[in-house]
Structure 1
Amino acid sequence: MPGRILILNGAPRSGKSTLARAVQAHVPGRWINWGVDAFNGTLPPALLPGIGLRPGGERPDLEPEVRRLYTGFFSAMAGFARQGFDVVADLGMHSVYAAPFDPLDVLRQELNGLNPILVGIDCPIEIIMARRNADPRGYVAGPGIPAPVARWQEAVHEGKDYALRLDMGNLAPEAGAARLGGIMPQSM
């Protein structure tokens, strides 16, 4: 019996990774956390930011690789699920590239028949900026909202049909995991 697939889609610093860890800890199953950070950690510098490429068409030279990377990413996810593992993935999928491309098309193709559950992760921009400024990870911290951060807020949810949306700026990770556990089919 294939495992379940739960995809958490939202902007960077919206609480997706913390929620994915809460799912592993609090939702029954054998959850593999296979998200953007885990995947991009396997890539050489020449392919970064990989599937984390920001909206806005900023790296048209890398976009053909992003399509191939998403194909490999979802193919690996399907492999885990077909082996009976549950998979939770924290992603920031958008379709705002220089050339037309939507990762959801790749998701549908690679995960066909596995019934992934797509969940939108929201968070107020003020909370995202506070989290970003507290842990800038190489970005310049400070006042104001940088244009790329503002673009994520809109682009990541545009055109998506979610099974559920969670505001992880106002919801504790354990409470979010409980809500997700309530919509997940039972594991075998």
Structure 2
Amino acid sequence: MSQIIFLHGASSSGKSTIARSLQAKIEKPFWHISIDHLRDSGVLPSARFKSGDFVWAEAKPAFFQGFHASLAAYAHAGNNLILEHILDQGEWLDDLRHLLEPFDVYFVGIYCPLPMLIAREYARGDRPRGSAQADFETIHIGKSYDLEVQSQDGPDHNANLILEGWRSGKRASSFTSRND
């Protein structure tokens, strides 16, 4: 059965840095996958969305439906995943619970203090200003995690905590229970 370590946190919370640390330490091959990888690879016609040729709000539902289905396809093919995602739409958690139900999902909440999120967002320059704060205020509501970590503790420390929890086999999150 494929295994998925699902990192969930606000934009600029450190998900990618933790994912790279996990991938370097984990004893099995795990793909590191995120929306940023697709965006940065040129899959999306980003310049055309920015120029107004295309409307992101119209394309977004199909894009995410395809992304979510691709995650299940990768796992069904036998790939282990380190997934980083921001569940900023209410139905996405239910969709992913259904799609990933056959797999061992270890759901990790990444928390980061708001001032740090805002500073990171500004330093990156590739996020709409205010998205980190909007995420901070909403995305963890109603989610139950197998583990919660604090971004300011550092990626290596957090990767070690995640690996320890993942290796334990104990699961009690939004993906293992139906506490709606």
Q: What TM-score does the superposition give when structure 1 sets the normalisation length?
A: 0.75
Describe the SS at the equivalent of 2:104.
coil
* Alpha-carbon distance change, 138 to 15 in structure 1, aligned in 2, over 3 angstroms: closer
CA distance in 2, matches of 1:78, 1:186: 23
Q: 1:137 to 1:20 in 2, by over 3 A?
A: same
2:165 corresponding residue in structure 1: 183
Amino acid at match of 2:20: R
Please identify which structure carries the higher helix content. Answer: 2
RMSD (Å) for aligned C-alpha atoms: 2.6
Work out whether 1:102 is the aligned partner of 2:91: yes
Match of 1:78 in 2: 72
> Alpha-carbon deviation of 1:151?
1.5
**What is the one-letter code of the residue matched to 2:137?**
E
Q: Where in structure 2 are the equivalents of 1:42-61 lying within 5 Å?
A: 42-45=43-46
Distance 1:107 1:46 in 2: 29
Q: Residues 8 and 138 (structure 1 numbering): CA distance in 2 closer, same or farther, change over 3 Å?
A: closer
Q: Distance in 1 between matches of 2:25 and 2:18?
A: 10
Identity of aligned residues (%): 26
Partner of 2:140: 157
Tell me the secondary structure at the aligned position of residue 17 of structure 1. helix
2:37 is the alignment partner of 1:38: yes
The count of aligned residue pairs is: 163
CA shift in 2, pair 1:82/1:66, >3 Å: same
2:112 aligned partner: 123
Structure 1 CA distance, aligned partners of 2:130 and 2:123? 19
Runs of 5+ in structure 2 lacking a partner?
170-180
Aligned partners of 2:107, 2:157: CA distance in 1, in Å? 18
Partner Cα distance (1:35, 1:117) in 2: 16
2-side partners of 1:47 and 1:34: how far apart? 24
TM-score normalised by L of structure 2: 0.78
Tell whether the 8 Å contact from 1:7 to 1:119 is kept in structure 2 after alignment.
Answer: yes
